[in-house]
Structure formats: structure tokens, C-alpha cells
Amino acid sequence: MATKLTPEEAKERKRDRNIAWRLANIGRARERLRRWCLANPEKVREHNRRRYLADPGKARKRSVAWRLENLEKAREAGTAWRKANPERSRAFSAAYRGRRRAAQEGAPVSRDPAILDLYQFANTATSAPCVYCGLDPGPGLREVDHAIPISRGGAHSMDNLAIACKTCNKEKGSRTAQEYRTSLAYAGAPTAAR
């Protein structure tokens, strides 16, 4: 074995040895990888992001398949994520409800990620007045309204969404933004300048 290896050959041999070691020590390899992942969350995120962007359809299929095989773990991971990202999680649920309602009514549904940001903004912004009455009830008391209600064919999309206070949103009911504004004007209430 005195033959000198080229750098490529040496690299290849090292890789083969690594693979052989991993196959022989699958438990330890997994444990080592798990520790490495825990210590390098940024790198893991970047790796996952690249893999996702390379083929989103395939990545989703893989993820769904994994979740079906690991129901318990998937549930635990979901709980942990929600605990670590309460605001995002709340926005996610609210946006999902809107999307599902629109889908049930056969209304157009947009998957624009800005929608999620809007829901989160409505929940958390220090200042975001209601488009109808102009008052700002503060974080946690605002809702995202469909200007043209889903029940009347309105889309779940950015151009049909607005931030409203809970009172206005409830009172508006199944009226369009325009109908509700008119009723507010008749009632002598000031309407927001929008």
C-alpha cells in the first residue's frame, strides 16, 4: 500500500470510510448528527431552505410522508414551535381559518405570504387603526376583515383584506365595506379616511 494517493483518491477513500463507519454505527452517527444539528441551528435552517428551494414539490412530499410516519413526533414539534412562536402561530391559525372558509365557499384563495404578515401585524402592531371607525383598540383586539365578505364571493387575498376593530368587524357582518361605511355615515359616526 505504498502507492501514493492523489488528493481526489484520498478524499474518496476518506468519504468511503466515513460511510462505512456510519453504516456500522448507525445509532451513534444519528446521535452525532443530532448533536451537530442542535449546535448549528443556522446551518440546519440554511440547508433546509436550500433543499426546499431546489424542489419545493419534492420537499413537501417528503415532509408530509415523514409526518404521517411520525405522528407523535410531528405533534410534539408543532407544539414546541407554537410555544416558541406564539404570535406567528396565532396569525397562522387566523389566516388558515380565512383560507379554509374561502375554500369552502368556493371563493378565490391567495397564498400570498404577505397575508400571514398582515394577520400578525393586526395582532401585534403598536398602532393600527380600524379602517372603518379609525379607532385603535390595541394589540390583541383587532381583526382582519374581508372587505367583500367571503360569503358574498370576496377573495381571501391581500386586496380584499383590511384591519378592523372587533366591534366594527362584528357589526359589519355580511355587508361589504362600502355598505358598512354608508351605514356608519347615516348613523352619524365618523368613518376612517380610506
Number of chain positions touching Zn ion (CB under 5 A)? 5
Using CB under 5 A as the binding rule, whether residue 131 contacts Zn ion is answered as no
Binding span for Zn ion by CB under 5 A among 79-87, 92-100, 157-165, 174-182: 157-165
Q: From CA 192, how far away is CA 194, in angstroms rounded? A: 6
Using CB under 5 A as the binding rule, whether residue 130 contacts Zn ion is answered as yes
**Closer of 29 and 192 to Zn ion (Cβ):** 192
Exposure string of 36-60, with b = 16+ CB inside 10 Å and e = fewer, is: eeeeeeeeeeeeeeeeeeeeeeeee
**β-sheet bridge partners, residue 144:** 163
Q: Where are the beta strands (DSSP E) in the chain?
A: 142-146, 161-165
Binding span for Zn ion by CB under 5 A among 26-34, 99-107, 128-136, 179-187: 128-136
Using CB under 5 A as the binding rule, whether residue 132 contacts Zn ion is answered as yes
Using CB under 5 A as the binding rule, whether residue 163 contacts Zn ion is answered as no
Among 133, 144, 161, 184, which residue sits at the site for Zn ion (rule: CB under 5 A)? 133
Helix (H, G, I), strand (E, B) or coil at 111: coil
Report in angstroms how near the CB of residue 164 gets to Zn ion at its nearest: 5
Report in angstroms how near the CB of residue 157 gets to Zn ion at its nearest: 22
Exposure string of 131-141, with b = 16+ CB inside 10 Å and e = fewer, is: bbbeebbeeee
Using CB under 5 A as the binding rule, whether residue 184 contacts Zn ion is answered as no
Report in angstroms how near the CB of residue 156 gets to Zn ion at its nearest: 21
Q: From CA 179, how far away is CA 118, in angstroms rounded? A: 23
Q: What mask of x and - would describe binding to Zn ion in positions 37 to 76, judged by CB under 5 A?
A: ----------------------------------------
Q: Please say whether the beta carbons of 103 and 166 come within 8 A.
A: no
Q: From CA 158, how far away is CA 42, in angstroms rounded? A: 31
Give the closest residue to 102 by CA, choosing from 58, 143, 67, 149.
Answer: 149
**Closer of 110 and 167 to Zn ion (Cβ):** 167
Report in angstroms how near the CB of residue 100 gets to Zn ion at its nearest: 25
Residues that bind Zn ion (CB under 5 A): 130, 132-133, 165, 168
